[in-house]
Amino acid sequence: MSMKYIGLKWRQFVLAHKSLLRRVRASVIALSIICITLVLGFYFGTPESATEPKREPVYNSAWDSSVWQVESWLKKNLKDPDSLEVVRWYPVHKIGDGFAVQVNYRAHNSFGGINVETRLFQLDNKGNVYRSTPIR
């Protein structure tokens, strides 16, 4: 097959299907514009902070109701942090500029015995624990 033959066949095809080719070209252009618009919309769209409500710095986890700041404090301050077993997390309460949360847990003491304790933690507005009080 020679190149002349292929060129001739292509010209005949184009002439015979001119309106079809115009529709295909218009569809490709329209689809390209839609894709570009979607990509730009996702990239430059509204920031997450505008669509989601602002979350407080101290909150109960939806997974296990824990408060990560308090759990971190406990692991730093217990004699045997690996023995920490939380019995119950109570809801976080906003108090003035800070937060308060109560937790009931068991952990090993210095002698290897298991203590069950309930503590009230007070946190500032940034989520730092500034007071831990045992509750009897």
Number of domains making up the chain = 2
In this predicted structure, the answer to whether residue 50 has a pLDDT above a threshold of 60 is no
- 97 class by beta-carbon count within 10 Å (0-12 exposed, 13-18 middle, 19+ buried): exposed
Is 58 part of a structural domain of the chain? no
**Taking the model in full, what pTM does it have?**
0.61
Structure tokens at 47: 């920031």
Structure tokens at 72: 């971190």
In this predicted structure, the answer to whether residue 108 has a pLDDT above a threshold of 80 is yes
Q: Which domain holds residue 10?
A: 3-49
Is 55 part of a structural domain of the chain? no
Q: What is the mean pLDDT of the chain?
A: 87
Q: What is the pLDDT of residue 71?
A: 96
Is 54 part of a structural domain of the chain? no
In this predicted structure, the answer to whether residue 17 has a pLDDT above a threshold of 80 is no
In this predicted structure, the answer to whether residue 26 has a pLDDT above a threshold of 90 is no
Verify that 124 and 82 share a domain, yes or no: yes
Q: Measure CA 90 to chain center.
A: 23
Is 91 part of a structural domain of the chain? yes
Verify that 36 and 77 share a domain, yes or no: no
Verify that 131 and 72 share a domain, yes or no: yes
Is 57 part of a structural domain of the chain? no
Verify that 82 and 37 share a domain, yes or no: no
- CA nearest 121: which of 60, 86, 69, 83? 69
Verify that 41 and 73 share a domain, yes or no: no
Which residue has better confidence, 129 or 51?
A: 129
Is 99 part of a structural domain of the chain? yes
Verify that 72 and 42 share a domain, yes or no: no
Verify that 129 and 74 share a domain, yes or no: yes
Is 78 part of a structural domain of the chain? yes
Q: What is the pLDDT of residue 79?
A: 92
Verify that 44 and 97 share a domain, yes or no: no
Confidence of residue 60 (pLDDT cuts 50, 70, 90): very high
In this predicted structure, the answer to whether residue 19 has a pLDDT above a threshold of 80 is no
Q: What is the pLDDT of residue 55?
A: 81
Verify that 119 and 74 share a domain, yes or no: yes
Question: What percent of the chain has pLDDT above 90?
Answer: 61
Read off the pLDDT of each residue in 27-45 and give the average, rounded to a whole number.
85
The 10s digit of each residue's pLDDT in 83-101 is: 999 999 999 999 999 999 9
Is 110 part of a structural domain of the chain? yes
